[in-house]
């Protein structure tokens, strides 16, 4: 009797592993291009990053409202909705190699944006040097002698 139970369990496990290994995500009815999906994913990450910063300065309900409005504007710009985006992400990310490539592209773009923002912040916060160099001496007016 135990032998039959073991055979049945092994058979069920084999069937399960075969069926899971051949799992295919169906093609979405509104198929977006790979580049468009990458762009939407990138924009979602940017929105999430901005929201994290806003949480430090704004009330939570205001940030949630802003996120909803911004996401709706993003979806409207691409003429999609949340479900279409979700289906397309699932479709493209079902292939592991493609998912890694797309996520690498998105990550690289996010790193470039972060570097750009960091540079802007540094330039904005830069303290001007008080030592006069030869380049800007023409802007110096002589001190008046008050004797």
Between CA 28 and CA 80 the distance in angstroms is: 12
What is the end-to-end Cα distance of the chain in Å, rounded?
116
Enter the tokens of residue 9: 């369990």
Tell me if 61 is assigned to some domain: yes
Tell me if 145 is assigned to some domain: no
**pLDDT for res 120:** 84
Residues of the chain with pLDDT under 50: none
**Could you tell me the residue range of the domain that residue 113 belongs to?**
35-118
Q: What is the pTM of this model?
A: 0.68
**pLDDT for res 25:** 79
Enter the tokens of residue 64: 């949630």
Angle between helices 82-93 and 96-125 (to 10 degrees): 120
Enter the tokens of residue 139: 């802007």
**pLDDT for res 71:** 93
> How many domains in the chain?
1
Tell me if 69 is assigned to some domain: yes
**pLDDT for res 24:** 74
106: nearest Cα among 11, 30, 29, 34: 34
Tell me if 81 is assigned to some domain: yes
**pLDDT for res 31:** 93
| Number of helices and strands in the chain (H, E) | 5, 0
Tell me if 144 is assigned to some domain: no
Tell me if 138 is assigned to some domain: no
């Amino acid at each position: 009797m135990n032998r039959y139970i073991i055979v049945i369990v092994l058979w069920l496990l084999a069937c399960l592993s075969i069926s899971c290994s051949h799992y295919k995500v169906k093609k979405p009815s509104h198929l977006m291009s790979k580049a468009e999906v990458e762009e939407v994913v990138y924009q979602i990450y940017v929105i999430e990053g901005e929201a994290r910063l806003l949480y430090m300065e704004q009330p939570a309900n205001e940030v949630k409202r802003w996120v909803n409005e911004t996401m709706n504007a993003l979806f409207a710009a691409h003429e999609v909705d949340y479900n279409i985006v979700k289906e397309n992400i699932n479709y493209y990310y079902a292939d592991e190699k493609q998912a890694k490539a797309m996520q690498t592209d998105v990550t690289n773009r996010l790193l470039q944006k972060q570097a750009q923002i960091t540079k802007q912040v540094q330039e904005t916060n830069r303290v001007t040097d008080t030592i006069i160099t030869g380049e800007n001496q023409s802007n110096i007016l002589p001190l008046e002698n008050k004797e």
